[in-house]
Every structure is written in structure tokens, then in C-alpha cells.
Amino acid sequence: MPTYKIRGIDVDFPYEAYDCQLVYMEKVIQSLQNKCNALLESPTGTGKTLCLLCATLAWRKSLGEFSRGRSERSNIRGSQYSDDELPQSQSSNFPTIIYTSRTHSQIRQVIQELKRSNYRPKMVVLGSREQLCIHDQVSLLRGKAQTNACQALCKKRTKRYCAHFSRVTEFVKKNPSIGDDPIDIEDLVNIGRSSGPCPYYLSRELHKDVDILFAPYNYLIDRGNRKSLKIDWNNSILIFDEAHNLEGLCADAASFDLPSGLLTACISEAKNCIDLSITRRETSSDKSCNPDNFAILRALLLKLEKRIAEVPIESRELGFTKPGPYIYELLAELNITQKTANMLTDIIDKACALLEEDANTNESGGSNKANGNIFRLESMGDILRLIFKDNSNAHAQYYRVREKLTDTEYREFVGFMKALKSKAMKIGHVLQSIARLFSVPDRLSLLHGVHKKGILRL
């Protein structure tokens, strides 16, 4: 295998390198040595992924040996940790390389390139529960339902404690060399099926003590995912492969939609919380949940629904568009401000916990099927946290608030006009259709990222 001396670094390359590949690797090493950002591109078919891997790993190896076979997890307390409680490794002061791409299929190709190289760093690939879960019932669920079901089964006090989760710590202790050779999502799943540990939590455990970590973009872009990773971001090398996809993903991650169906469901759940808390007080003198708080929440949601309905939509194409700060003006009319938002999200969290307790109580006498409970109030809480993040509204200048008719509403409107024109509708039906059509728009697209002043859409 040829070795090239590039900026004082010995780079092992599996083939005779072309001039363009040598230049590419030189720029990679230069950015690493100077601790600066680099925006690099190369035509398709020039082996840029292999060049990027070999140059980066050669530079990392020049700092010290890879972490092969080392395990520093002996102090982990059995299976007590959750997503946000995984203890941070104190393995070394060497930087961790985080290699991200858009999809897992692209990451799979990168790992294949790693196998072709002469480098064998300690590595792991992160994936979602949808890809890694091997629990008989939870693996059939999707989205938040799957997440909630998984987290419920990983609590030791539950009767249906997940056996796969409980085997992770012991498996890692007995297999310290796991990750010394390149492994992919399928390899983790096969390990779980053959040896028992949960592949999802196995990858979460391994990531704290690796030289290079492979993950989709959203593990870095999404704030919740990023916080769940125990990584020293100030001592890390971040690589975004196929970075032309990054701008759109950033805009999507920092935007949200508020459909009328979501508001209706939240209002219904708030009403359920009022009833549940009153019933608890009457039957068991349980005063942990105050029904007045849930009544305030429901009243605010009803006012928000009414306020959105009052917004005029002049045309289907343009909808109703305002600068980002408008969302604060709209919510301020409901007394939802920076000062009150935290209190409101606390009420929402308590409401979700109450609904979860009630759902689990109702299911406790049933089968052993793992049910993932989804509460729409969780989404409303996420929306408020995004709007009022960091106790500041400075980010609003890079956003737009937009309300528009959906395709369904537009088709209803066209059908209504045709029926009106043909005089086939009685006046009573006409008035009912008008009231239904313009009562609450089916969707309010809030805080949609826009490109302004050359700044990335966030």
C-alpha cells in the first residue's frame, strides 16, 4: 500500500494516488493542522471520500495511537442510564472525528471505503430506533410512538422491562474490542439478535469512546439529538459529506408547522387533563396536578385557534406572510411572552406526564404489548421551545411566518364556487360551507427559515 508524505504526515493510501487526490488530501491536512474550516469539492469519481478518510485518519494517528481495544466503562451503573444520562467518557484528549452524511445508505458507502483503507480506528455508527430496535413490539412502531414505548420499557420499575436494554453494559465489558473493525447498522442489528444487547443503546454506549463516529446530519443539526451525544464539541473534527444538502436540512430542522388538527387535539388533551386532575382530587385527594393550570392552557389554545382563524388569506399562492417577529406579536396578544413561555411549557410537560400515567394505568391490566403513547401537546411544547429558545427573539429576523390554505381547502373552495355558480346549493348550505371553509385554516406554517443577508437558513 503506497504511503505519501503530505505536510509532514505519512498518509497510507490503498492505490496509486492521482495528482488531484494528493492536492485534495493536502488541503484536508492543512485545515486540520491550522484548525480552520475548509470547503472542499472534487468531481464525481475522483475518490474524494477515500481521500477525506485517509487524510483525516492519518493526521489523527500522528497525534497518538487509536483507541483500539480500550474500554473505560467499568463505572457505569448497570442499566440505570437513559438517553440524556449516559456518562461521558474520559478516554483521551485526542479529538473525536464525527463524519456525517445525509442518509444511512451514503454512510454505508463511506464505511465500505474505510474497509478498503489501512486504518482501523475505534468506530461506531449511530442510527435511529427504527433502524436498530430488535424488540418484538417496539420495532413495529414508528416516530414518537416508538421512542415513548422504548423509553417506557427501559425503566427498571416497569413490569415489561426490556431484556435487550439490560444486556448492553455487560456485553460492552466482555467485548472491549467491539468497533475495532468497521461495523455498520446491519452489523449492530446482527450482534443484537445473536448476543442479546440492544443495538440502539449499544451504539449510544460505544460512541463515548471512539476515534471516529458516523451519523446522519440530523444528529448534529437537531438540538435534541446533539445534546444527547456525550462529545466534547470543542475538541472534535466535524465532517459534512455531500454538504450541498445541508442548507435545506438546516431550514427544515429550525422550522415547524402548526396544523389546525394539532391545535384541536391539544385542546382535547388539555380538557382530558382537567378532568383527570379533578377526578384524582375527588377520589384520592391527589393534589399534585392543579386543574386550574390545565384550564388556563386550554383557554390559551382556544384563543390561539380563534386568533389564527381571524388572519385574512388574500390568495392561495401568497397566503398570509409576515416577518419572523410577527409571531411574538401574535402570541403576546395571548399573553404568551418570554416571561410566561417557560411556565406554559412546564404546564404542558405536566399535562403529558399526567396523560402518560393515565394511559399506562389503563394498559396495566391488559396484554404485554408495548404501546407507544403519542400526545400532541408534546409537539406544542416543542414549538414553544423553538420560538422562545435561549430566552431571546434575535433569531426571528431570519424567519418568516406564513399562513396558507392547503390543497384540500382550495379544492373545497373551487367546488363551492362551482356549486354556487350552477345554483345547485340552497342558501343554508352555502352559508354553512362558507363558515366551515374559513373558520380555521388547516395549517399555519410558522417560523419558516429563509435566506437573508447571505446567512444560512436556521
Beta strand extents in 174-269 (DSSP E only) = 212-216, 236-240, 256-259
Find the distance separating the first CA and the last CA of the chain, reported in whole Å: 44
pTM: 0.72
Cell numbers representing residue 37 in the block: 474550516
Q: Which residues pair with 124 in a beta bridge?
A: 213
322 phi and psi angles, rounded to 5 deg: -135, 160
What does the DSSP 8-state code read for residue 417? H
3-class secondary structure, 9 = strand
What pLDDT is recorded for position 366?
A: 46
By 3-state DSSP, what share of the chain in percent is helix, strand and coil, each rounded to 5? 55, 10, 35
Which pLDDT does position 88 carry in this prediction?
Answer: 41
**Three cell numbers, residue 288:** 399534585
CA 120/CA 180 separation, integer angstroms: 6
**In contact, 363 and 302? CB cutoff 8 Å:** no
Strands (E), 85-228: 96-101, 123-125, 212-216
Q: What does DSSP say about strands 399-403 and 320-323: parallel, antiparallel, or unpaired?
A: antiparallel
Strand partners, 101: 216
Contact in structure between 457 and 254 (CB atoms under 8 Å): yes
293's CB contacts (< 8 A; 6+ apart) are: 347, 350
State the Cα–Cα distance between residues 427 and 347, nearest whole angstrom: 45
With beta carbons less than 8 A apart as the criterion, state whether 290 and 277 touch. yes
H/E stretch holding 403: strand 399-403
User: Are 212 and 181 within 8 A, CB to CB?
Assistant: no
Looking only at Cα atoms, what is the longest distance across the chain? 85
pLDDT at residue 438 in the model: 47
Closest CA to 200 of 210, 192, 209: 192
**102 by DSSP, 3-state: which?**
coil
| Each residue's pLDDT expressed in tens, for the chain with a length of 458 residues | 799 999 999 999 999 999 999 999 999 999 999 999 999 988 888 899 999 999 999 999 999 999 866 544 433 334 444 444 444 444 468 999 999 998 888 899 999 999 999 999 999 999 889 999 999 888 888 877 788 888 888 876 556 688 899 899 899 999 988 899 999 999 999 999 998 899 999 999 999 889 999 998 888 888 778 888 888 889 999 999 888 878 888 888 788 888 888 899 999 999 999 999 999 888 877 777 889 999 999 999 999 999 888 887 766 666 778 888 888 999 999 999 988 999 999 999 999 888 888 876 665 544 444 455 678 898 999 899 888 887 788 888 878 887 766 656 555 555 655 555 554 445 555 555 555 544 444 433 333 333 333 333 32
Which amino acid, residue 249?
A: L
How far is Cα 336 from Cα 384, in angstroms, rounded to an integer?
Answer: 9
Grid coordinates belonging to 139: 420495532
